[in-house]
Structure 1
Amino acid sequence: MTDYERTELVNAFYALRDGTRPDLFVDLADFHSDFFNFDNTIDPTRLDLHFNLPDEPEREIFLAWHRRQMFEMEQAVQNINPRISLAFWNSSNDQSTTSPLWDQNLLGSFNANWSLNRNLGGDGPLPTPLEVTNLYGMADFFEFSNELERRPVHRGAHVWTGGAMPTPLSPRDPIFYFHHSFVDWVWYNWEEIHQNSSFQTTSMLRYDGTYSFGGQTLPLVNPNDIIDTRSLGVFYGSNQLAELNNYIVSNTYRNEEIFYYQYVIEAGSNFLVPSGTNCRMESVNEVRLLPGFEASAGSNFVATIDQVNSGLTGKSRTGEVARLKKPYDYDANINTPIVWEEDNKDDSPVIIQAYPNPFTEKITINLNKNTNCSVEVYNMMGMLIRQETFHNTDTIIINKLYGLSAGFYVIKVVDANGDILLAKRVVKL
């Protein structure tokens, strides 16, 4: 990114929370948290965003949903400045806590100003280049998506960054959008190789035609319609080159489509600007129009070099907006770490320890793996006197037992299939 792009993107992020418009960071974080992951054995009708593979491919939307989320954020910042785009953080090779990524002129200032409580490098590791490469060798889309979601290429940046990132409220942190743009770029590369992405569902939470934000109803999006990033007018630039091809300008999302890159732009191979549409390509280096590029009569097409902003340095930036101190409201989910389920087909036995026994006020039950279960407490007459349900946890605490009469009780722990994991007699003092 140029200094101009860095400044304008940071400006836009702060502007989205300056109180002059609905707060998109809050809305996306709250939505992500509210629908993060549910136990679908309890309520099979309740949809969620994460960890539906491998058992529930009919509910799977992880990659497509986050692609549309990145697009929603990018559209918001481009409404402020149409020349800027989200960048991606390749965490497989940019792994330093002193990387320019964390400088005060990029993403560093948000940590204190928004009380994000990052802990860079405290709970790593980040992915390796080999782990990224290994993903590209997987030919099955759902196998690739499941491995990407649960393992270091996606998980790594969340836990390594700390603060909000390893919680369901991770979209509070602007680095989330850099990270998930990287995840999306990995999917883009995989699809270029295999041409095999396919979703079973035809709509997605938030993007189902019923959700409104800022007074506008968001459109219905079929995840299969955005498998190709070009469907959203998105082209990834890397290795000093942005290749724009196989795209028809439509002005669907704004009156003029602007493709602004620090890199060299090469446009060709069926890149079409039809009559009546507006398109601008702007590079700080070079724009090359190759065979296959066509701007029809009646279109408004401009190719130009940005000479004004390309040479800006940190000392000559213009128009920095105020770096607002605006901590987020407290939400209990900020203390709820994401459980990165390594394999939800784990059939190993659940080993349980319950203590103390005898007890006075509470009983703690430790399991050797995360489990969905219910706990039932019976008196010695066989009457059920207490029942609680626990989701995806390895620690169960039954509180407020001080009101029970002294004597013997039986505790049963039952898993989601109805199998009894524990039946233990305990003593209340």
Structure 2
Amino acid sequence: MMALVRRDQAMLNYAEQSVFVDALLELKRRGIYDGYIRQHSQIGYNGHMGPAFLPWHREFLRRFEQDLQKVTPGLAVPYWDWTTDSSPYASIWSDHLMGGNGRDGDRKVTTGRFAFDVGKWVCLKIDIATNYLTRELGVHIGSLPTAQNVADCLQTTPYDSEPWDTTSNPSFRNQLEGWIGPNIHNRVHEWVGGHMRPLSSPNDPVFWLHHANIDRLWAQWQYEHPDQIYQPQHGAPQGQNEPDAMDPWFGNTTIASTLNHQALGYIYDTEWPAAQGDRMLPGDTLVADQYLISENGAYTFTYQKNGNLVLYRNDNNAELWASGTEGKSPGVCIMQPDGDLAVYDADSNRVWHTNTGSQKNRASRFYVQYDGHASIYRPDSTLVWRKPDTTT
């Protein structure tokens, strides 16, 4: 079974954004969503300001994602990379996804489908004064975490250290969550402001995209530091040690059970996911002998063991197009986020590309089409690149 892929929200097209928002609204309609707001607001130290912060939120997010999948099978929570989409006008705040900033005065969100007057999104009044969603982008703190902030945090070891708090140890967890250094996690909550500030912060659905990014950074830290283990193993307050069960789930849901995110069934688009079906989304890859097939089963696009990309007809094996890179040691074919499809050899040298990488082509996708074309389209369906040049 293929792993679920959590993707950068900036790489989603309008249809994918709409599917995600539809599922959020349906969980709200069913009364399931508000249960997550209550749970988060009540968890206290068991899920915040201590070592269990990252495991607890990984499980919290995973369970929420599973509920989304009961509405839309296969749906993954996207993540918000606030080091790149860092302004009040970034893609995440479009009407198609999260909606925009709050208006002057009462900070009421009036755009997008989570606006009270548009989608009837009613906030749960826990530690907040209004039942309509509010935001104050950049008011309480002037900037979001930077790429350098994140890079510095990812270099920090160990995972955590005594006295397991938020002010006195320069551990990775504390750099990411607490008040040491750039205050990455908390800084984002403060920057968004409004209903993202109190513990009832899931009232703002951007909460999930923020925490997916926090989880992604923990996964990256784990990959970059395979010699580092979760700390504490024992001796800390109950609910913080690796063998401990986590409140409110208990049972077999322990901190230890969360430590391998891939074993939980998902990966991120920054982890080189294998392309599936008839397309390659940003970040997707093909390695030697992997292939895509058009929806009608008539055409195959494959990265061969000889290093060549080939498109051919399945009924007669006729070659329709090839990259001309045979003889190059096979490495990986990548659909890059900037819209460039590229092939790299085993030494990471680029040996071929479509030369379509640009800001205007960002988030483009590659398709093997039912008519025998290998094509790249922008999210707005503008054709960027196509081979062969004639209809087959």
Q: Which band: TM-score by shorter chain?
A: 0.5 to 0.7
CA distance in 2, matches of 1:224, 1:80: 29
CA distance in 2, matches of 1:268, 1:172: 42
Is 1:90 aligned to 2:95, yes or no?
no
Asked whether the equivalents of residues 111 and 118 of structure 1 are also in contact (C-alpha less than 8 Å), the reply is no
Q: How many residue pairs end up in the alignment?
A: 247
Q: 2:284 aligns with which of 235, 254, 265?
A: 265
Q: In structure 1, the residue corresponding to 2:285 is in which secondary structure?
A: strand
CA distance change for structure 1 residues 198 and 69 in 2, over 3 Å: closer, same or farther?
same
Aligned to 1:106: 97
Name whichever structure is richer in strand by fraction. Answer: 1
Aligned to 1:373: none
Q: In structure 1, the residue corresponding to 2:195 is in which secondary structure?
A: coil
Aligned to 1:15: 26
CA distance in 1, matches of 2:17, 2:33: 18
Instruction: Write out aligned runs for 1:42-191 (5 A).
Output: 48-52=46-50, 60-108=51-99, 109=112, 110-112=114-116, 113-114=120-121, 115-124=132-141, 125-142=143-160, 143-151=171-179, 152-191=183-222
* Residues 360-409 of structure 1 deviation map (CA, whole Å, 9 limit, x = unaligned): xxxxxxxxxxxxxxxxxxxxxxxxxxxxxxxxxxxxxxxxxxxxxxxxxx
Asked whether the equivalents of residues 81 and 213 of structure 2 are also in contact (C-alpha less than 8 Å), the reply is yes
Asked whether the equivalents of residues 88 and 180 of structure 1 are also in contact (C-alpha less than 8 Å), the reply is yes
CA distance change for structure 1 residues 2 and 208 in 2, over 3 Å: closer, same or farther?
same
Asked whether the equivalents of residues 55 and 258 of structure 2 are also in contact (C-alpha less than 8 Å), the reply is yes
Aligned to 2:39: 31
Tell me which amino acid in the other structure corresponds to 2:43.
F
CA distance in 1, matches of 2:187, 2:369: 38
Aligned to 1:208: 250
TM-score, structure 1 normalization: 0.51
Could you say which structure has the larger radius of gyration? 1
Asked whether the equivalents of residues 28 and 171 of structure 1 are also in contact (C-alpha less than 8 Å), the reply is yes
Q: In structure 2, the residue corresponding to 1:243 is in which secondary structure?
A: coil
CA distance in 1, matches of 2:56, 2:278: 23
Tell me which amino acid in the other structure corresponds to 2:33.
F
Q: Which runs of 5+ in 1 are unaligned?
A: 38-47, 53-59, 210-219, 246-256, 272-285, 292-303, 315-429
CA distance in 2, matches of 1:233, 1:204: 20
CA distance in 2, matches of 1:287, 1:4: 27
Asked whether the equivalents of residues 92 and 128 of structure 1 are also in contact (C-alpha less than 8 Å), the reply is yes
Identity fraction in percent: 26
CA distance change for structure 1 residues 227 and 116 in 2, over 3 Å: closer, same or farther?
same
Tell me which amino acid in the other structure corresponds to 2:148.
L
TM-score, structure 2 normalization: 0.56
Asked whether the equivalents of residues 165 and 176 of structure 1 are also in contact (C-alpha less than 8 Å), the reply is yes
CA distance in 2, matches of 1:6, 1:180: 17
